[in-house]
Amino acid sequence: MPGKRPGKYSKRRRAPTAPYRLRVPGFVTNAEIGLGDVIKGATSYLRIKPCGGCEGRAAAFDRWLVFGPGRGR
């Protein structure tokens, strides 16, 4: 139909957004670390074997949230 406006169910692609950056005071290093890397480190510490989809989930979590150092005084 001519002039049809896209409704709420249209398949528009969203532009990729930057990850949310969370400052953590007392962070050990000055490097940023993603949420996926934190979860991966915790599960390997607990000796949980990774499955086939773990790398994909870790990458998705890294794109979503990044931890970094807090503000210096």
Domain boundaries in the chain? 20-69
In the predicted structure, residue 13 carries a pLDDT above the cut 70: no
In the predicted structure, residue 10 carries a pLDDT above the cut 90: no
pTM of the model: 0.66
Q: What tokens does 5 get?
A: 């406006």
Please tell me the predicted confidence (pLDDT) of residue 3. Answer: 59
Lowest mean pLDDT among 1-5, 15-19, 45-49: 1-5
Rounded Cα distance, 50 and 42, in Å:
11
Query: Nearest 5 degrees, angle CA 5-CA 8-CA 12?
Result: 80
Digit-coded pLDDT (tens) for 29-73: 778 889 999 999 999 999 999 998 999 999 999 999 998 876 654
Beta strand 33-34 with 65-69 is: antiparallel
Instruction: Name the residue with tokens 């249209």.
Output: 10
Which H or E run contains 21? strand 20-24
